[in-house]
Amino acid sequence: MKAVAASSELGARRIISRQQSLFLSKRCNATGETSISFRPRPYPSTLVTYPVSHWQRNITAGFHTCRVLSETENKFRNGDPSELQSNISRPLITAEDEQLRKEDDDDDDDRYGRFDDDENDDLWKEYYNSDQHVTKSWNDDSSDVSLTKRLWLDPKSPLKERVNRFVNSPLGSLHHLDIKIGSIDLIKQCGKLHSFQGMKYAQDILDRLIEEKRHVNANNTWPVMVVPDRPFQYVMYSWANLCRRVPFASQRMREVLDIMIQENADDKETKERILKERSKSAPDDDTDNQNPILTSEDTTEDLFADISCQPTVSTYNTLLQGLSQAAMRSIQSAIEAEEVLSVMEKMHRNRGWHTKPNTRSYSLVLNAYAKCRHDSAGERAEKVLRDMIQRHEQDIEAYRTEYQEDYDLQTMDNNRRRIVTPDVVAYTSVIQAYGNSQKPGSAEKALALLSELIHSDNPAVQVDAFAFANTINVYSKMAAKKASPESRNQAAMRAEKIWWLYVEELEKRMGDESGQSNLEASIVPFNAALKAIAASFTKQSPHQTEELLFKLLEQNNPNFHIYPDTISFNTVMQAWANASKVETSTGPERAEDLLKLLKTSALDDDPSRRVHPNVQSYVIVMNAYAVSRRTDSVAQVHRLLTELLGEARERLFKEDEIINAVPFTVLLKAVAKSNKKENDNEAAAEDPFGVGMDERDKLSMDPYSVAFQTYSEMKFDVHGLGVQPDHFAFAAMLDVIAVHTDMDSVERRQRVNEVFEDACQAGQVSSLVVRSLQSACPNEAFLNELLQLPRGESVTSMETVNVFQRQWTRFVPPQFRRVTKRKDSFLAKTSSKPFQRSKDRGENRNGNKHIDNERMPRKVKQAAKNKDFIF
């Protein structure tokens, strides 16, 4: 009878698993009748429970069951259909998955390390070296268990098969170490896929463990089997890693936590039931003892059963970690993170769980506020910080009364346990949070926190370079956002002042040998200050950045170990590039002067003063020319590209510096910006730059041909750099065609067709490509034919590039999938060239507006338009 129930459970589980959207759990109720429950996704707190007989009936019905399930499911999913949709029947690895993985490549084993205990090493050895066949089940008396090969141990097998074998292994056949270790290893690897499919596997494994537990405990054996907290925690952790990209990932984490809590409660119940059961049915079995607890040799096992999957600090910290990632989408997650802190507190107080928030818990909440862009984030974060400080003081008191000694803030290792301690990192997160606020006074509050750090005599709270850099960044953001050039410059100057404050503190502490100070010499605050000035976008800013750079280059204190690096130079060069859009600007030359300076610095006698240019340095200068209004911009950019490729050929760049499509794209951009007619006139002009013969040949090429040559160099990777055009490149090339061919020419159609096909093949059809394609196509019919849109569909009604076949958009990053709506598609466009038009529009907009019409950065313009800030 039990076997029937068990197999029907398994069947039900499989069916539900196929549905992919239900989270199954099973439990025995008080009367011992088994029922199976599931949670419809959008409402995890709703538990739908059927007695096992229901499942038995429906399993025989086969296909019908799925139907029944879907209907039940549908009832619950009115809220969020997209959520479910995204989870249903995906191929093993989807394009999005591919993208997800690409984005977070840095994520590997050591991040999981936090859960790993050294003590498990021995277990592992025992486990892995043990017979590859099942020798021992949970109860150790499983002679009738079939000898199934434990494929999931074999790291060489495909993950899919390993998971399948694990999940579908017969109930009762799992080795206890399969549960404690094998499952965790599998879940980890599933989580590493960073895919929905992987997450489904992970959840399946977890389900399977719970299923095993139910099955084993149904036999009233002792000790009671439990599923430990770690598998749950790893599933949560895997979701946490998806929180930045996947809107509902944090919801999934909460579900797992809910189930954990419920399972923990169930385990307690089960234990009591079995105890009662055993003392009733076999009171005389063991003549010595009636109480199985006392007969059990392995008391740790029993202890373990008591705790089972009870959430711990680290469980909640995992949740917080996810929420802090999710906070980038909305402040709501950060607020929720803050609420989790009090939940942890409450669970600790009321249930005696080990969930008292620790330093890391608070940090994660602060970090959540630092990441979310919201005006109130700074103040909320500061409140949490103040709570934390208060908490700290309370805990110090409590520690003193508990141990009759003071908590040692100096040497943490001397303490008997850790207490919540605010530190630089906590402060720095709050400073960051203020940086996202446009409320007046936010930056000042950030600065106040910095000075609190500087003057702190608490050994646990000491300023470091991070704190300075972050405060500078707050002003840097302000410098980029303010409407008037004066206030932008003012903010930039405040940023610079903080850099000097850093220098001052650094020198002050240099003689100090107390060893207390964390303050290291770092170039980062300096670069942050440079960036702030560059971002202020005034007429003076490039000059100011350069001046500051030279101050540091020329300083000559042998005790002072901060010297500009490549980023410093690049930032100043970028400031010049930003200024280059204006007519008669000398920005490009000034940027190039710095590039030359970089090249000579690379050969400096003093090794500490050697600074090398990198690919980015070239790109910045090239871009300065590209955006300038010089008539020779294409030639200049081409010259620099050639130079860059030459340096690359001679391996002058660091090995880890790979050349991507960016430099090539800049050239295309230059060509697209160059007006066709102007260049027809210029074509005959003599080369004014006295370059060599070979170079002259190239320079005399017309820009359109240069663009095509560059395009194919990129496409066929003729320089052997591993370069592939990406969607920026394809879009830029389409722009080139739009500007340099006649609207109704055959050339236009052929070239557009060709480039678009390349983009499709490369899986790079992004919103940028679509927009450029729209401008390049002679008419709507041609466009629709290229895009193969179904009848009735049009580009103007299109919202994302996801409507295309997956193949075309395989490698498009998510932020370039959304198509920006443009009302004018073909109506207004007959004669004018796309770039002229957008230029005109820009000028008009500037003309209508008041302030500093040349220098306003785009963001400022938009903000000014919305009247978001008036100071």
Partner DNA sequence: CTAGGGTTAG
Instruction: State how far the alpha carbon of 163 is from the alpha carbons of 101, 167, 238, 252, in Å.
Output: 20, 6, 16, 20
Closer CB to DNA, 31 or 608, in the complex? 608
Q: How far is the CB of 219 from DNA (least distance, A)?
A: 30
Question: Judged by CB under 7 A, which of 86, 148, 168, 312 binds DNA?
Answer: 312
Residue 523 lies near DNA (rule: CB under 7 A): yes
C-alpha to C-alpha distance for 724 and 727, rounded to whole angstroms: 10
Question: Judged by CB under 7 A, which of 8, 58, 318, 574 binds DNA?
Answer: 574
Q: How far is the CB of 414 from DNA (least distance, A)?
A: 12
User: Which of these segments, 62-70, 608-616, 635-643, 690-698, binds DNA (CB under 7 A)?
Assistant: 608-616
Per-residue exposure over 793-815, b if at least 16 CB sit within 10 Å of its own CB, e if not: eebeebeebbebeeebbbbbeee
* Beta carbons of 506 and 518 less than 8 angstroms apart: no
The DSSP-derived string for 20-86 is -SEEEEEEE-TTS-EEEEEEETT-TT--EEEEHHHHHHHHHTTHHHHHHHHHHHHHH-SS-HHHHHT
User: Which of these segments, 137-145, 353-361, 478-486, 769-777, binds DNA (CB under 7 A)?
Assistant: 353-361
Q: How far is the CB of 89 from DNA (least distance, A)?
A: 33
Question: Judged by CB under 7 A, which of 623, 633, 710, 809 binds DNA?
Answer: 623
Residue 358 lies near DNA (rule: CB under 7 A): yes
Closer CB to DNA, 571 or 675, in the complex? 571
Return the residues of window 382-421 that contact DNA according to CB under 7 A: 412, 418
C-alpha closest to that of 657 among 790, 566, 738: 566
Q: Which helix (H) or strand (E) holds 656?
A: none
Q: How far is the CB of 574 from DNA (least distance, A)?
A: 5
Closer CB to DNA, 167 or 533, in the complex? 533
Query: Tokens 């802090």 label which residue?
Result: 324
Q: What stretches of 335-461 adopt beta strand conformation (E)?
A: none
Residue 522 lies near DNA (rule: CB under 7 A): yes
The DSSP-derived string for 285-301 is SSSS-S-HHHH-S-HHH
Question: Judged by CB under 7 A, which of 314, 636, 675, 766 binds DNA?
Answer: 314
Residue 669 lies near DNA (rule: CB under 7 A): yes
Q: Rounded to the nearest 10 degrees, how much is the dihedral formed by the CA atoms of 553, 558, 561, 567?
A: 20
Return the residues of window 722-751 that contact DNA according to CB under 7 A: 726, 728-729
User: Which of these segments, 12-20, 278-286, 357-365, 589-597, binds DNA (CB under 7 A)?
Assistant: 357-365
Closer CB to DNA, 134 or 736, in the complex? 736
* Coil/strand/helix, residue 116: coil
Sign of CA dihedral 72, 74, 77, 81: positive
Residue 666 lies near DNA (rule: CB under 7 A): yes
Question: Judged by CB under 7 A, which of 432, 489, 772, 775 binds DNA?
Answer: 432
Give the relative orientation of helices 662-673 and 615-627 as an angle to the nearest 10 degrees: 10
Return the residues of window 814-843 that contact DNA according to CB under 7 A: none
Q: How far is the CB of 727 from DNA (least distance, A)?
A: 8
Question: Judged by CB under 7 A, which of 14, 54, 90, 111 binds DNA?
Answer: 111
Closer CB to DNA, 360 or 638, in the complex? 360
Question: Judged by CB under 7 A, which of 275, 662, 691, 851 binds DNA?
Answer: 662
C-alpha to C-alpha distance for 496 and 502, rounded to whole angstroms: 10
Question: Judged by CB under 7 A, which of 10, 257, 313, 498 binds DNA?
Answer: 313
C-alpha to C-alpha distance for 213 and 232, rounded to whole angstroms: 14
Q: Under rule CB under 7 A, how many of the chain's residues touch DNA? A: 61
Q: How far is the CB of 801 from DNA (least distance, A)?
A: 17
Return the residues of window 454-493 that contact DNA according to CB under 7 A: 464-467, 469-470, 473
C-alpha to C-alpha distance for 574 and 588, rounded to whole angstroms: 10
Question: Judged by CB under 7 A, which of 105, 117, 284, 605 binds DNA?
Answer: 117
* Beta carbons of 473 and 528 less than 8 angstroms apart: yes
Give the relative orientation of helices 377-403 and 359-371 as an angle to the nearest 10 degrees: 180
Residues in Cβ contact with 45 at an 8 Å cutoff, skipping those fewer than 6 apart: 39, 258
Residue 363 lies near DNA (rule: CB under 7 A): yes
Closer CB to DNA, 186 or 240, in the complex? 240
C-alpha closest to that of 211 among 178, 244, 172, 181: 172
User: Which of these segments, 167-175, 658-666, 750-758, 821-829, binds DNA (CB under 7 A)?
Assistant: 658-666
Closer CB to DNA, 410 or 866, in the complex? 410
- As a 3-state breakdown, the chain gives helix, strand, coil percent values, each rounded to 5, of 60, 5, 35
Residue 581 lies near DNA (rule: CB under 7 A): no
Closer CB to DNA, 358 or 800, in the complex? 358
Closer CB to DNA, 173 or 264, in the complex? 264
- Answer left, alpha or beta for residue 471, where phi above 0 means left and psi between -120 and 50 means alpha: alpha
User: Which of these segments, 124-132, 184-192, 195-203, 559-567, binds DNA (CB under 7 A)?
Assistant: 559-567
Q: How far is the CB of 729 from DNA (least distance, A)?
A: 5
Give the relative orientation of helices 159-168 and 196-217 as an angle to the nearest 10 degrees: 20
User: Which of these segments, 155-163, 303-311, 586-594, 611-619, binds DNA (CB under 7 A)?
Assistant: 611-619
Residue 115 lies near DNA (rule: CB under 7 A): yes
C-alpha closest to that of 449 among 370, 514, 513: 370
Residues in Cβ contact with 750 at an 8 Å cutoff, skipping those fewer than 6 apart: none
Q: How far is the CB of 229 from DNA (least distance, A)?
A: 9
Task: Give all strands of the β-sheet with 22-28 in edge-to-edge order.
Answer: 22-28, 34-40, 48-51
Question: Judged by CB under 7 A, which of 209, 242, 461, 567 binds DNA?
Answer: 567
Q: How far is the CB of 252 from DNA (least distance, A)?
A: 20
C-alpha to C-alpha distance for 2 and 282, rounded to whole angstroms: 20
C-alpha to C-alpha distance for 591 and 299, rounded to whole angstroms: 73
3-state secondary structure 183-204: HHHHHHHHHHCCCHHHHHHHHH
Question: Judged by CB under 7 A, which of 619, 765, 773, 776 binds DNA?
Answer: 619
Residue 571 lies near DNA (rule: CB under 7 A): yes
* One character per residue 262-301, x = contact with DNA (rule: CB under 7 A): ----------------------------------------
Closer CB to DNA, 71 or 118, in the complex? 118
Question: Judged by CB under 7 A, which of 660, 674, 675, 741 binds DNA?
Answer: 660
Question: Judged by CB under 7 A, which of 305, 483, 621, 661 binds DNA?
Answer: 661
Q: Pull the structure tokens for residue 425.
A: 């990192």
Closer CB to DNA, 199 or 729, in the complex? 729
Closer CB to DNA, 166 or 664, in the complex? 664
C-alpha closest to that of 425 among 462, 451, 392, 389: 462
Return the residues of window 142-201 that contact DNA according to CB under 7 A: none
C-alpha to C-alpha distance for 525 and 548, rounded to whole angstroms: 13
Closer CB to DNA, 81 or 813, in the complex? 813
DSSP 212: H
Q: How far is the CB of 825 from DNA (least distance, A)?
A: 24
* Interface contacts to DNA, rule CB under 7 A: 111, 114-115, 117, 312-314, 317, 321, 358-360, 363-364, 367, 370, 412, 418, 423-426, 428-429, 432, 464-467, 469-470, 473, 522-525, 527-528, 531, 565-567, 570-571, 574, 614-616, 619-620, 623, 660-663, 665-666, 669, 726, 728-729
